[in-house]
Amino acid sequence: MKSSSLKKYRPFSPVELSDRQWPDQPITAAPTWCSVDLRDGNQALAVPMNVSQKLELFDLLVSIGFKEIEIGFPSASDTEFEFIRKLVEEKLIPDDVKLQCLVQAREHLIHRTFEAIEGVPKAIIHIYNSTSPLQRRITFGGASQEKIKRIAVEGTALIKDLVDTVPETQVDLEYSPESFSDTELEFALDVCHGVMDVWDPSSTNPIILNLPATVEWSTPNVHADQIEWFCRNLQDRDSVRVSLHTHNDRGTGTAATELGLMAGADRVEGTLFGNGERTGNLDIATVALNMNSHGIETGLDFSNIPKAREVYERCTQMKVPDRHPYAGDLVFTAFSGSHQDAIKKGMDLIKTDNSQWAVPYLTIDPTDIGRTYEAIIRINSQSGKGGIAYILDREYGFDLPKAMQPQVGKTIYDMADSLGRELTNQEIFDAFKKQFVNVSNKISLVEYELFHTDVGPGQVRCEAKIAINEADYEVTGVGNGPINAFVHALETIDQKEFKLKDYRSHAVMGGSDADSAAYILLHSDDGKEAWGCGVDPSIEIAGVRALVSACNLLKD
């Protein structure tokens, strides 16, 4: 933005609250959650959901555990009205779920809303009107504070009168001073008190006062100050459920909600994955899983977030971004080499001690929300040895020695750099096999047989047939094991030009029950080192094949 443009804007006024308490109040329990996907979320779609799509999303919300669901604005369109009637007439509403209906504080709309909820077991009538100076001046042509308050009070009185027309329905009231975020606090409180005076709530029959950040004008700490000020000055606080409804205009809707809960709110409205007008509503999945990551029970079940995402995307035709918290394709993925190495080490420790989650760069265990480990580490030219070792171990059962990882890593990420793109796990595995496993480009093992007779105690004899640059040799060697015997066999034809520095072996986990892998490090007289890997049903032959692989790589 150009400097000349800045003159159009002014800072948001802070709240006079010098003794604020919310910074010292940790979140220890979950609020009541209300999904507004079927209203605010639906309103923001280029093509609103039809009845069948709304029903599928409603079923998803119920399965996740929402007990309060704003299912629409029944006085606004026939589709909204028909959806509610379908839920009622087909008895699709669980006994413990309250249906919330949004309605402006206008007489004919309120009457239509009561027609829609007839037969609903539990309903929340959510009435609202705009209260901010900006809305009063521009939208309502300079309406006075008294007129705005009267709209809210008269709407509440009408709702109270109509409750008796739906005797089978338990009716709760929610009132929202729309644009609370930029309404004078004293005026917002005065309007809410006027609504309460008419509704006459109690601790056993509380009213919901929803304080929407309809537009996010300020930093999250100012929002928290507004909520704390409101809660501290509210009459009959135990008769009120203070509700938050943040938007994301400044990109801090989650932070504003969390600080608002610290400031005393009891309830949160939002949508799955933050769908909503402009930059979106609060993302309830993020806030709930943030709490889960601190060990807080939320009452919402996101243990299969891929399914929730799939239903959400199908019904709304929206896409969850790759970097979206928890649900995005790449949020548990590390490309950076140092990150990959730390994750691998953490995951290795978790195998032996899974009592507490403690893995660098991963705030939660991806499997707890239905994600897999497969995509945690992905490889491109920025990747490192740890990530490649993680994939070869986790996906293919090859537990590379730590000292071997730099050599393998460089080979793989040089390949990614040359191709200029991310490598698939299969490409990584194929490259590893081609470059390091059973390599036989110069020396190849044709036959190998081991004998334990006709040798001294603790000794074995090998008879092998090898090919060197297409010439065949039959060799024999004696040693204290299969590999040592083969080394001595190579020495008989002047092919022992190295020192064996390291050897490891293991069964290939996740592969064939008969497969074994061995790794050998050779050091040449001129200082060159090479690791080779051998794979064979016999762990002894796997070691010999690893030696042959390392010999070939040492000659490159």
- Give residue 386's pLDDT: 72
Pair 459, 487: CB distance under 8 Å: no
Class of domain 23-316: alpha beta
Question: What six digits make up the tokens of 353?
Answer: 């001690």
Pair 181, 223: CB distance under 8 Å: yes
Answer positive or negative: Cα dihedral of 30, 32, 35, 39: negative
Pair 281, 41: CB distance under 8 Å: yes
CB-side neighbour CA atoms (13 Å) of 122: 11
3-state helix, strand, coil in the chain (%, to 5): 45, 20, 35
Query: Residue 89: CB partners within 8 Å, gap ≥ 6?
Result: 119
- The pLDDT tens digits for 321-339 are 999 999 998 888 776 667 7
Question: What six digits make up the tokens of 102?
Answer: 């949004």
Residue ranges per structural domain of the chain: 23-316, 337-436, 443-555
Q: Residue 112's CB: how many other CB atoms inside 10 A?
A: 17
- Give residue 390's pLDDT: 80
DSSP symbols for 482-547: HHHHHHHHHHTTT---EEEEEEEEEE-TTS-TT-EEEEEEEEETTS-EEEEEEEESSHHHHHHHHH
- 507 has which bridge partners? 516
- Give residue 383's pLDDT: 59
Nearest to 516 by CA among 506, 526, 524, 531: 506
- Give residue 281's pLDDT: 96
**443-555: CATH number:** 3.30.160.270
- Give residue 379's pLDDT: 58
Nearest to 451 by CA among 464, 461, 438: 461
Class of domain 337-436: mainly alpha
- Give residue 44's pLDDT: 92
Please give the mean pLDDT across all residues of the chain: 92
Nearest to 35 by CA among 242, 274, 261, 203: 274
- Give residue 395's pLDDT: 85
* Residue pointed to by tokens 């300079």: 142
- Give residue 346's pLDDT: 86
Residues of the chain with pLDDT under 70: 335-337, 354, 373-385, 510-514
- Give residue 391's pLDDT: 84
Q: Say what angle helices 385-396 and 405-419 make with each other, to 10 degrees.
A: 100
